Amino acid sequence: MLLKVKNDIKEIDRVCTEVKNFCCSNNIENDKCFDIVIIVDELATNIIKYAFVDGGDHTFDIVIDKKGEKLHIQLSDDGIPFDPLKRSGPDIDSSLDERAIGGLGIFFAKQLSEQITYERTENKNQLDVFVNLKKEK
């Protein structure tokens, strides 16, 4: 599945609906589908909010591919260079009042996926997320 997404926060509802439809049509369990929706929602929201600093209209791509018990999600944008994997994790031990805002999206994506890689090629950020679809025992 290929989604072309505008850098408009209103697009997130459409993206999540398309991801849910993909999961249903590929017989992906509800709990795994929920994880995938969270991953895509968080990462796409970060791109919309932070990748394009010029204030103009942009689009980015989300590709989702299922092969056997593995799911590959690729997000690609031509925004400012940013490797989210180099960002330090959020402080999850402090109280809510003491915590800095932000950083949980990447944290959740890492927790819910098997592997995430980042690459900057041809002036594009490319984030590859791999999710194991096997039933957990």
Domain 2-132 annotated CATH 1.10.275.10: no
Q: What is the pTM of this model?
A: 0.88
Q: Which amino acid is at 130?
A: F
Q: What is the 8-class DSSP label of residue 17?
A: H
Q: Which amino acid is at 6?
A: K
Asked whether 112 and 6 are in contact (CB, 8 A), the reply is no
Q: Is the pLDDT of residue 96 over 60?
A: no
Mean pLDDT, range 96-113, rounded to an integer: 72
What rounded mean pLDDT belongs to the chain?
A: 90
Q: Is the pLDDT of residue 109 over 60?
A: yes
Q: Which two tokens stand for residue 62?
A: 């989300």
Q: Which amino acid is at 128?
A: D
pLDDT score for 91: 55
Q: Which amino acid is at 89?
A: G
What is the helix (H) or strand (E) element at residue 46, kind and residue range?
helix 30-50
Give residue-wise pLDDT tens across range 31-73.
999 999 999 999 999 999 999 999 899 999 999 999 999 999 9
pLDDT score for 43: 96
Sign of the alpha-carbon torsion through 96, 102, 108, 111: negative
Domain boundaries, the chain: 2-132
